[in-house]
Amino acid sequence: MTNDAQDGNPPEDWHLWLTALFDPDETNRAVAAQVLGSSGDPEAIPPLLAALDTVVGMVAGGGPVARALVELRDVWTVEVFAKALTDPRAYVRRAAAEALGWLRDPQALEALVGVLQDEAFGVRLEAAWALGEIGDPSVLGSLLAMVPDQDSNVRRNVADALGQLGDPRAREVLLGLLDDEDLGVRAAAESALKRLIPEAG
């Protein structure tokens, strides 16, 4: 393979570089990340996020992959990640939801709300977190509907997000979460209650 990624042009043998992102050899993964990062192609973002979200990526390839994503910052758009939310692979959808939280762009609200009921708990978890990061009160109802989620980590992120919104209408629900069976959920609910706008009186 040769690196033909120059001036924003996609590299030659694109599919080979994508495969190399998950190569057992650390050097091959690093080179593949560098090539994709310099391509200037938004299509490189979902596979890079997927690589970062795997054990291989985090343990041995995280640095090069993260640098590649930074190189692609000019093409980090809501549209790119919203499209990735429809990917059949749960780990890509999860990484895309997390990325939308980093962007904190209200244009992502509809796409994130659309995956709040995703079959994968990790996607629901990151979608709830991302909505909290954006902090738009229009999603209050959607977040409240997630409170009974069977996964405690999701419930914790929902409580955190409700605290981020700061809407006093979430008070009763958060009070109910103080009795949750999971300690982390109870702690998140307590912290969220402290962030709500104090009610008059």
Specify the fold of 107-201.
Leucine-rich Repeat Variant (1.25.10)
Question: Tens digits of per-residue pLDDT, 74-86?
Answer: 777 888 888 889 9
Does 61 have pLDDT greater than 60?
no
Structure tokens at 144: 């409240």
Query: Considering the chain, what percentage of its residues have pLDDT values greater than 90?
Result: 45
Measure the CA–CA gap between 14 and 44, rounded to whole angstroms: 9
| Residues of the chain by 3-state class (helix, strand, coil), percent to 5 | 70, 0, 30
Question: Same fold for the domain at 1-76 and the one at 107-201?
Answer: yes
Does 69 have pLDDT greater than 60?
yes
**CATH superfamily ID and name for 1-76:** Leucine-rich Repeat Variant (1.25.10.10)
Domain ranges of the chain: 1-76, 107-201
**Are the C-beta atoms of 124 and 151 separated by less than 8 Å?**
yes
CA atoms within 13 A on the CB side of 136: 16
Question: Tens digits of per-residue pLDDT, 88-101?
Answer: 888 888 888 888 88
**Are the C-beta atoms of 139 and 110 separated by less than 8 Å?**
no
